[in-house]
Amino acid sequence: MAILVAALGYFVDIYDLILFSIVRIKSLKAIGVAESALLSDGVWLLNMQMIGMLLGGILWGLLGDKKGRLSVLFGSIFLYSAANIANGFVNSIEAYAWLRFIAGVGLAGELGAGITLVSEVMPKEIRGYGTMIVATIGVCGAVVAVLVGDLFDWRTAYFVGGGMGIALLFLRISVYESGMFEKVRHAKHKMGNLSILFRSRANIFKYANCVLIGMPIWFTVGILITFSPEFGKALGMFLTPDAGKAVLFTYIGIAIGDLVSGCLTQILGSRKKIVLVFVLLIAVFIATYLLHRQPSLFEFYLTCFALGFAVGYWAVFVTIASEQFGTNIRATVTTTVPNFVRGTVVPLTFFFQLLKPHVGIIQSAGIVGAVCVFLALTSLHFLHETHGKDLDYCEG
């Protein structure tokens, strides 16, 4: 039941997270944003959502270690569901931006709490399968978001996301708290304190490396896929690609990638080797995406699918972060790390836009993407292998 609830929660989480990319253009046009401002206002709204996720990651992570994993699951889903429903009523760019911020705060708690709970309730030998199931089912929320965004009005699409989240709250009543967490709480260990995480250079370095190995994922999704119509024009495509379809094919690839990467980590007994292979694949497909001039729509969407498959090590990456630290700080780490990765979209889009007037959209994306891949590969080298690690311990 813990795996099912975490998977469905992540499904709704991804639905809302990706929905903005799908309805960005038509929703902004509907509230009166000029054609010339669609990209800049879209980046602003995306950044507001990601800033909310950065702050929410810290908030929910600390609460998860102090009050329990389930309290975060309930609180986060309620907040972003309410924000989604309210988002369906916006008529100004300012209201849109603040509701994206609030939704971001809510979205920040879902994945970390779910992965922490699943990691702690499953046997260490097979927990990779549990987190794989959560991620694989979860990313299918993007596919549903594309279908709903295409078939219905953008306001209705936000209402659907909020309604799914409220319905999920009732299912979570049947889920029990992590036994590891309960044992540590009753032993009165120091819980959910950032000083535990940052008391040593070794912990800071390890935490930073956990964030950096996931950065290429959100460079790909947050820039290459979100702004696929603009990249299509720059590549000289005769037909401009649809952002919704680009997201659809990307997330089909991510679902398959998460399934394959999760299975391979269990078969090979290594998380680091799989992440290495997938980051190298990202480098190959980023180059394909940016250097293939005048691709057909089929070729463009096929590249989006390939990029999605390559970034499909999300579950493995979050599991690595969860396994690096003790029970008394694990929820904080597992919740903040993926949200800091998502939040890297803010500086990444900043440098992307800063370089774009000087070198063009293609070269700008290439430079930023190359830096992301380099940092991920370097950081992966310094992390310890965690497959099969016993998680029943606390940080001193």
More confident call, 3 vs 290: 290
DSSP 43-111: HHHHHHHHHHHHHHHHHHHHHHHHT-HHHHHHHHHHHHHHHHHHHTT--SHHHHHHHHHHHHHHHTTHH
pLDDT, one tens digit per residue, over 116-159 is 777 777 777 777 777 778 878 887 888 888 889 888 899 999 99
Give me 183's structure tokens: 């044992």
DSSP 223-241: IIITTHHHHHHHTT-SSPP
- The residue extents of the domains of the chain are 2-171+192-382
Q: Which pLDDT does position 219 carry in this prediction? A: 93
Domain 2-171+192-382 sits in CATH 1.20.1250.20: yes
pTM: 0.78
Distinct helix (H) and strand (E) counts, the chain: 19, 0
Residue 355's Cβ-side half-sphere holds a number of Cα atoms within 13 Å equal to: 17
20 pLDDT higher than 60: yes
CA distances from 119 to 43, 63, 79, 387 (A): 34, 18, 24, 12
pLDDT, one tens digit per residue, over 363-391 is 999 999 999 999 999 999 998 887 777 66
The label of the residue with tokens 């972060």 reads: 321
165 pLDDT higher than 70: yes
Q: Among 32-46, 167-181, 313-327, 351-365, whose mean pLDDT is lowest?
A: 167-181
Please enumerate in sequence order all residues whose Cβ is within 8 A of that of 313, keeping only pairs 6 or more positions apart, or say none: 217, 257, 258, 261, 274, 275, 278, 279
CA distances from 17 to 142, 145, 171, 331 (A): 8, 9, 21, 21
Give me 355's structure tokens: 């370089």
Neighbours of 201 (CB within 10 A): 8
Q: Which pLDDT does position 95 carry in this prediction? A: 92
Q: Which pLDDT does position 193 carry in this prediction? A: 65
The label of the residue with tokens 């902004």 reads: 28
249 pLDDT higher than 80: yes
59 pLDDT higher than 90: no
C-beta of residue 14 within 8 angstroms of C-beta of residue 139: yes
C-beta of residue 84 within 8 angstroms of C-beta of residue 161: yes
Per-residue pLDDT, averaged over 29-52, amounts to: 83
Amino acid identity of residue 360, one-letter, is G
Per-residue pLDDT, averaged over 320-349, amounts to: 82
C-beta of residue 282 within 8 angstroms of C-beta of residue 373: yes
